[in-house]
């Protein structure tokens, strides 16, 4: 009988187990190595809606473009605050002496701050555009998750249709054996079952398309299989108040805030144009060929800008007016979108209520009455098939209404600029 023993290191930890002349390495070091590389207890969790939104935000290429533009503005802001480099001039008059002069402009002391402030405001406007991009990505990911949930529900409804007609098929088979129905009716039921299977193919295609869209939003290959956690469906319909929604988008919508920040950029542009009409102060010194040094102060006047009558300032003011008009246009468009979404949501909510409380229960009751009567030969196949399809179609129409309702909800969230109040 072979004996087993353990070998311990100086600190008391088990290094290896030996049994007979074979060595079984069971050290804690091997365990830690495997755990470090993810080979021990590796469990992949389904992708949640929150995780998908964060991944899509990080991958969004449009957001990368805006971020690069913002970084470029910050770099230009640093350059706008810096003084102009000094100028050096070497001259010689005809028959006279030569001179070498160096001068420095001090105009940046009152011209640079407006330019730097304008770039700072432009960067702030881009910050709001980045928020708008995050909002757009969130909307798209939510719509994909909602679409996957709706397709899953529709597949369940289609399974109900399949089991219903398979049940009808078994009843028709018994009637065919008894001679109480015709072979034509039997073939019609088989064709109906085949049509249900064909609809299942369409639903699977819709699911694959939604998953491929999600993969592209996350920056992954469309062929990659994603394990997705079902999104929690809210209780529908959602109570909404028009006044609260309008207050919310006026305070939160990033596109509107970007337009408002653009007005500030335009105002600063007027100040920059006005600074170009200010004189420039020059200080400098030099030496001539007679080795005589000199120092001096000069003033540079923008006569050409004065002669133009401040055309640059006038152009900047017109740009500011255009930016103010844009704020009004964006506000009006958002108000119209709120009105349209609320009207659609109210109509869809009423239809959903009718299907849930009246249409589906009545259609189900009609089918439950028609099925046994068909078995007894009291109801023909057309009546039974019509009752079955009416019941299942009502359930499918309800899911379509839920899909449209959730689509409008996500669009409305994008308009508001965040969760609905």
pLDDT band at 29 (very low <50, low <70, confident <90, very high): very low
Share of the chain above pLDDT 70, in %: 86
What CA–CA distance (Å, rounded) separates 192 from 183? 14
Give the residue-averaged pLDDT of 12-22.
41
Give the residue-averaged pLDDT of 243-252.
89
Q: Is 93 helix (H, G, I), strand (E, B) or coil?
A: coil
Give the residue-averaged pLDDT of 238-252.
89
Q: Where are the domains of the chain?
A: 44-416
**pLDDT at residue 188 tops 80:** yes
**pLDDT at residue 180 tops 90:** no
**pLDDT at residue 2 tops 90:** no
Report the side by side order of strands in the sheet with 22-24: 4-8, 14-19, 22-24
Q: How many CA atoms lie within 13 A of 123 on its CB side?
A: 17
Please give the pLDDT value at position 225: 83
Please give the pLDDT value at position 89: 73
pTM to 2 decimals?
0.76
Joined together, the tokens standing for residue 59 give 């991958």
Interval 75-127: pLDDT, tens: 887 777 777 777 777 766 666 667 777 777 777 777 888 888 898 999 999 99
- Are 136 and 52 in contact by the 8 Å Cβ rule? The answer is no
Choose the weakest-confidence range: 135-144, 159-168, 241-250, 282-291: 282-291
Residue 302 class from Cβ within 10 Å (0-12 exposed, 13-18 middle, 19+ buried)? middle
Interval 326-358: pLDDT, tens: 999 999 999 999 999 999 999 999 999 999 999
- Mean pLDDT for the chain overall: 83
- Between the CA of residue 111 and those of 116, 273, 296, what are the distances in Å? 9, 10, 22
Q: 44-416 falls under which CATH superfamily? A: Outer membrane efflux proteins (OEP) (1.20.1600.10)
Q: Which residue has the tokens 């030569």?
A: 98
67's enclosing H/E stretch is: helix 61-81
Angle in degrees, 0-180, between the axes of helices 61-81 and 108-178, rounded to the nearest 10: 170
Interval 357-391: pLDDT, tens: 999 999 999 999 998 998 888 888 899 999 999 99
- Are 26 and 20 in contact by the 8 Å Cβ rule? The answer is no
Q: Which residue has the tokens 């009105």?
A: 339
pLDDT band at 291 (very low <50, low <70, confident <90, very high): low
What CA–CA distance (Å, rounded) separates 274 from 277? 5
Q: Is 91 helix (H, G, I), strand (E, B) or coil?
A: strand
């Amino acid at each position: 009988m072979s004996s087993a023993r353990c070998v311990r290191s100086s600190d008391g930890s088990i290094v290896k187990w030996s049994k007979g002349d074979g060595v079984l390495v069971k050290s804690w070091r091997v365990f830690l190595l495997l755990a470090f590389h993810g080979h021990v207890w590796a469990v992949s969790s389904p992708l949640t809606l929150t995780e998908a939104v964060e991944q899509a935000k990080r991958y969004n290429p449009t957001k990368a473009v805006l971020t690069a533009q913002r970084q470029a503005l910050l770099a230009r802001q640093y350059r706008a605050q810096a003084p102009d480099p000094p100028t050096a001039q070497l001259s010689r008059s005809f028959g006279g002496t030569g001179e070498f002069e160096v001068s420095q402009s001090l105009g940046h002391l009152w011209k640079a701050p407006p330019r730097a402030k304008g770039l700072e405001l432009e960067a702030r406007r881009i910050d709001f555009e980045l928020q708008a991009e995050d909002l757009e990505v969130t909307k798209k990911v939510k719509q994909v998750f909602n679409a996957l949930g709706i397709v899953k529900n529709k597949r369940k409804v289609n399974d109900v249709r399949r089991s219903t007609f398979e049940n009808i098929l078994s009843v028709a088979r018994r009637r065919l054996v008894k001679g109480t129905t015709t072979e034509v009716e039997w073939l019609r039921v088989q064709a109906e079952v085949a049509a249900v299977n064909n609809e299942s193919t369409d639903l699977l295609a819709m699911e694959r398309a939604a998953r491929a869209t999600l993969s592209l939003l996350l920056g992954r290959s469309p062929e990659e299989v994603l394990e997705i956690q079902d999104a929690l469906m809210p209780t529908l319909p959602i109570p909404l108040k028009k006044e609260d929604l309008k207050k919310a988008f006026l305070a939160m919508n990033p596109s509107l805030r970007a337009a408002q920040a653009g007005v500030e950029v335009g105002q600063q542009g007027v100040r920059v144009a006005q600074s170009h009409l200010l004189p420039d102060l020059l200080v400098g010194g030099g030496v001539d060929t007679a080795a005589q040094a000199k120092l001096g102060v000069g003033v540079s006047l923008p006569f050409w800008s004065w002669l133009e009558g401040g055309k640059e300032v006038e152009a900047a003011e017109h740009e500011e007016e255009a930016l103010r008009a844009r704020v009004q246009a964006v506000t009006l468009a958002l108000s119209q979108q709120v009105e349209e979404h609320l009207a659609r949501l109210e109509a869809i909510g009423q239809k959903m209520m009718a299907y849930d409380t009246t249409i589906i229960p009545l259609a189900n009751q009609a089918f439950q009455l028609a099925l046994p009567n068909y078995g007894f030969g009291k109801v023909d196949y057309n009546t039974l098939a019509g009752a079955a399809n009416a019941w299942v179609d009502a359930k499918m129409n309800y899911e379509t209404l839920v899909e449209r309702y959730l689509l409008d909800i996500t669009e409305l969230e994008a308009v508001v600029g965040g969760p609905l109040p």
